[in-house]
Amino acid sequence: MAADVLTPATAIAPAKINLFLHVGPVDEERYHPLTSLVAFADMGDIVSIERSDRLSLTVGGPFGAGLADDPDNLILRALRALGEATGTGEPPLRVHLDKRLPIAAGLGGGSSDAGAALKLACNPLALKLDDAGLGDIAEAVGADGPMCLHARTAWAEGRGEVLTFEPNLPPLHALLVNPGVPSPTGAVYRAYDAAPRILEPRPAPPVGWTASAVIDWLAEQRNDLEAPAIALQPAIGAAMQAVAVLPEVRLTRMSGSGATVFALFDTREAAGVAARRLASEHPEWWIVPTTLAAP
């Protein structure tokens, strides 16, 4: 067996950020149509894969407690879907997940983990599948599956599965903040259904694609799940208020269905200063400076 097949392969499963999220009322199939501009951070969970005699998953990291015991973990679901789609059966792979992103945090962590695992699995299984083929398989983990597999800035429409890649988004200096509470997607959508909005057409893109112009344009957008998530978890609102008064912050918004809040800054240095200040005030929160849409 070739040496490269025996060597564990490792990849980052990046955090997904909804720069804005417009949501419509539930349709006849009980799904919510949406429009979003999605970007990915330069940090996330770490997934490692190597050939083995059977499919297995171990989990470590600061947010890994209990995840390995879930037989329907999205990584395992995706890899089983890969085996079914290729007719090869359950893949004989040993997977390790270093879980660095909070859970139920609006960061697409599970879907991103699954996407990274699908990409890594192709080499030890000697499969010739490109991202387009893997994207179809990634639908097995849900609407976020294909976008998180591609991990590229994109406009997401439909139920999130209709993607239009956007190469013009510049790197955005950001701060990710999670107050340490879960925000389950289903509960947030049910709360949103009490007063849904009509979904408008996808907004026109910014006039210019400089970072400053993009931030100004994003300020005109919104996250429709923000209010219901805060109603269910007031700690999200407290985090948003704390982030909004940080020095040099340009924009504050919740990502996805929460509970993670992101802030945008003009410079990496400003984001770093804000991270240190907020960490001194709230040492119990998860606070990470990062760059979105990094090259």
CA 3, chain centre distance (Å) = 33
Catalytic, out of 4, 16, 70, 193: 16
Q: Closest Cα partner for 203 from 258, 263, 157? A: 157
Please say if 144 is a catalytic residue.
Answer: yes
Catalytic, out of 45, 113, 144, 224: 144
The span from the CA of 198 to the CA of 176, in Å, is 29
Please say if 16 is a catalytic residue.
Answer: yes
**Mapping DSSP to helix (H, G, I), strand (E, B) and coil, where does residue 258 land?**
coil
**Mapping DSSP to helix (H, G, I), strand (E, B) and coil, where does residue 156 land?**
strand
Say which amino acid occupies 93. Answer: L
**Mapping DSSP to helix (H, G, I), strand (E, B) and coil, where does residue 15 land?**
strand
Neighbours of 204 (CB within 10 A): 7
**Mapping DSSP to helix (H, G, I), strand (E, B) and coil, where does residue 107 land?**
coil
**What six digits make up the tokens of 106?**
């609006």
Catalytically active residues are 16, 144
